[in-house]
Chains A and B, each alone.
Chain A
């Protein structure tokens, strides 16, 4: 096997996984930035997004793009509701808010277990066939996933940079008190920030559902990765989460060429502990703390 082909293949796989991490981590860090809450229920929204994609495309036979939009909207509404109903008293209460999201995660996961059962479901791919780029062979469905994920990120970027609501949200992330002095109503932006964050997790779940299986337990692995990415990128830093997410995906993919997965995982956790202790502001130095 030629090394360049292996490397190119690893790059593509790393990008797919990296985009997944990126979507999870950006939502996660958005929630943390707005509410100062480490959201342990983030993975459960990924799981709900995966189920939504399964039922909307495989059962209701909606087009994938439409089901993606419906899933995102549904997750935002659910997130807004849960923030208002459960998390409202815990805003800016780091520890209690975090413990409350543990409770929320348990409720969501077990509701899913009750309704959908424990068995993993597999979803048909969006499109069949492979695409060849020179010597590199890529399943076309993965390319679609990459395309959709990039589109979501561009939309998010435009929203955060150029819309009024997005700029207000970034101001709240940056400094809550100064933002309120400027007349930004936190009453709106807490639920909105939480809803958007978990909406991104649900989109990630929907995008990955055709590539992996769907079960009530699929949320825990992406949650773990979101933790890692957000720590590496700096809690509350959106660009940091983006860079670290992509980097983690690529590094994992490359390291699988010459390290066993468990060794790579251990090294990553050692790196995480090291980063937290030495540079808690993250690789770009934009995180809080």
Chain B
């Protein structure tokens, strides 16, 4: 255990040869979609958007709370941006900013109240909030289009640059995905990140050392939900269609599965989980059921034998070889 701590502390500073290989491999993987067909590009865009959403979920999870209503905040962001964009003919950037602001305010108000709850109680209350959001979107059909959703959402255009094509949107999504992952990595190698980690590991001790558990958890919840809002807005602009079912509880559950399989306590967990699990359902189109059974089994096996997720695999292997 002592050796592990030394290792994790040493690794961010030193940039050895193996890191260059990893970076090159990731770059090659990221460049691949530009030289492939539309289908691969589509999967790549979905993967990047998932990376973003899961990074938001990971931030909340690292403060010790698991949100089962993450998709609801994607929905709040997406619906705010789309409805305001329609009503006031807002350009993309202002609409995005307003959506993020509104989502953050909702997350702040909700988080202030519900972050007192711990463990499964927090999970259940976020689950209830997700269902409530879906019902509200369904019921206020005059504004939200109800179960039919909203179609014909225009593609993103910033300062005359259009992101209507798949290749251009992929560039945008890739930048966002890498930026969010890099941001997570930076955050969790800094004092604020360590404070967040300590809150998850031992809230009482963190409180005793002068950290405000409540404040840190609210910070993580609000930022995590704001990231979800960005992901929701981008997704709505890419697909061109939203409905309450685009953001239902099974989406939230899917995000949790990707996070857990990728790795909850690693800055790379969201990246790994999304890259591994997003393309799979599309590749196994013919056998959706076997696919889901595989998901469920993988989830249980990872929880049981690799609680750190796939992102933890290299470290585990290294530790085994050194022994």
Q: Which A residues fall within an 8 A CB radius of B?
A: 38, 86, 89-90, 94-96, 98-100, 102-107, 109-111, 113-114, 224, 227-228, 231, 235, 262-263, 265-266, 269-270, 272-273, 276-277, 280, 289
Asked whether B120 lies within 8 Å of A276 as measured between CB atoms, the reply is no
Asked whether A96 lies within 8 Å of B136 as measured between CB atoms, the reply is no
Q: Does B52 contact A (CB under 8 A)?
A: no
In the complex, which residue of chain A has the Cβ closest to the Cβ of B257?
A: A102
Asked whether A106 lies within 8 Å of B293 as measured between CB atoms, the reply is yes
In the assembly, what is the distance between CA of A277 and CA of B115, in Å? 9
Report B128-187 residues with CB < 8 Å from chain A CB.
128-129, 131-132, 135-136, 138-139
Cβ–Cβ < 8 Å partners of A104 in chain B: 296, 300
Asked whether A273 lies within 8 Å of B129 as measured between CB atoms, the reply is yes
Can you list 16 A-B contacts with CB-CB less than 8 angstroms, sorted by A residue number?
A86-B300, A96-B307, A99-B299, A100-B299, A100-B304, A103-B296, A104-B300, A110-B293, A227-B124, A227-B128, A228-B128, A231-B128, A235-B121, A269-B129, A272-B125, A280-B121
In the assembly, what is the distance between CA of A90 and CA of B301, in Å? 12
Q: Does B92 contact A (CB under 8 A)?
A: no
Asked whether A107 lies within 8 Å of B297 as measured between CB atoms, the reply is yes
> Which of B117, B132, B288, B292 contacts A280, CB < 8 Å?
B117
In the complex, which residue of chain B has the Cβ closest to the Cβ of A36?
A: B120
Asked whether A103 lies within 8 Å of B299 as measured between CB atoms, the reply is yes
Asked whether B296 lies within 8 Å of A276 as measured between CB atoms, the reply is no
In the assembly, what is the distance between CA of A276 and CA of B126, in Å? 11
> Which of A90, A95, A110, A276 contacts B114, CB < 8 Å?
A276
Asked whether A269 lies within 8 Å of B132 as measured between CB atoms, the reply is yes
Asked whether A94 lies within 8 Å of B125 as measured between CB atoms, the reply is no
Q: Shortest Cβ distance from A161 into chain B, in angstroms?
A: 28
> Which of A86, A102, A110, A277 contacts B256, CB < 8 Å?
A102
> Which of B131, B299, B307 contacts A102, CB < 8 Å?
B299
In the assembly, what is the distance between CA of A146 and CA of B132, in Å? 31
Asked whether A273 lies within 8 Å of B297 as measured between CB atoms, the reply is no
> Which of A38, A114, A262, A266 contacts B124, CB < 8 Å?
A38
Cβ–Cβ < 8 Å partners of B113 in chain A: 277
> Which of B131, B260, B293 contacts A99, CB < 8 Å?
B260
Asked whether B296 lies within 8 Å of A277 as measured between CB atoms, the reply is no
Asked whether B125 lies within 8 Å of A95 as measured between CB atoms, the reply is no
Given contacts A95-B119, A110-B296, contact A269 B139 (CB under 8 A): no
In the assembly, what is the distance between CA of A130 and CA of B135, in Å? 35
Cβ–Cβ < 8 Å partners of A94 in chain B: 119-120
Q: Does B19 contact A (CB under 8 A)?
A: no
Q: Shortest Cβ distance from A203 into chain B, in angstroms?
A: 24
Q: Does B9 contact A (CB under 8 A)?
A: no
In the assembly, what is the distance between CA of A95 and CA of B118, in Å? 10
Given contacts A99-B299, A104-B296, contact A262 B135 (CB under 8 A): yes
Q: Shortest Cβ distance from A197 into chain B, in angstroms?
A: 16
Asked whether B300 lies within 8 Å of A100 as measured between CB atoms, the reply is yes
Q: Shortest Cβ distance from A118 into chain B, in angstroms?
A: 9
In the assembly, what is the distance between CA of A263 and CA of B32, in Å? 49
Cβ–Cβ < 8 Å partners of B290 in chain A: 110, 114
Q: Does B116 contact A (CB under 8 A)?
A: yes
Q: Does B123 contact A (CB under 8 A)?
A: yes
Cβ–Cβ < 8 Å partners of A228 in chain B: 128
Cβ–Cβ < 8 Å partners of A100 in chain B: 299-300, 303-304
Cβ–Cβ < 8 Å partners of A107 in chain B: 292-293, 296-297
Cβ–Cβ < 8 Å partners of A235 in chain B: 120-121
5 smallest A-B Cβ distances: which pairs? Answer: A106-B296, A103-B299, A107-B296, A103-B296, A269-B132
Q: Does B280 contact A (CB under 8 A)?
A: no
In the assembly, what is the distance between CA of A113 and CA of B288, in Å? 10
Asked whether B136 lies within 8 Å of A266 as measured between CB atoms, the reply is yes
Cβ–Cβ < 8 Å partners of A289 in chain B: 121
In the assembly, what is the distance between CA of A103 and CA of B257, in Å? 9
In the assembly, what is the distance between CA of A90 and CA of B260, in Å? 15
Given contacts A94-B120, A235-B120, contact A273 B125 (CB under 8 A): yes
Asked whether B139 lies within 8 Å of A263 as measured between CB atoms, the reply is yes
User: In the complex, which of the residues B136, B293, B298 has the most CB atoms of chain A within 10 Å of its own CB atom?
Assistant: B293
In the assembly, what is the distance between CA of A38 and CA of B128, in Å? 14
Asked whether B121 lies within 8 Å of A266 as measured between CB atoms, the reply is no
Asked whether B135 lies within 8 Å of A269 as measured between CB atoms, the reply is yes
User: In the complex, which of the residues A89, A95, A96, A105 has the most CB atoms of chain B within 10 Å of its own CB atom?
Assistant: A95
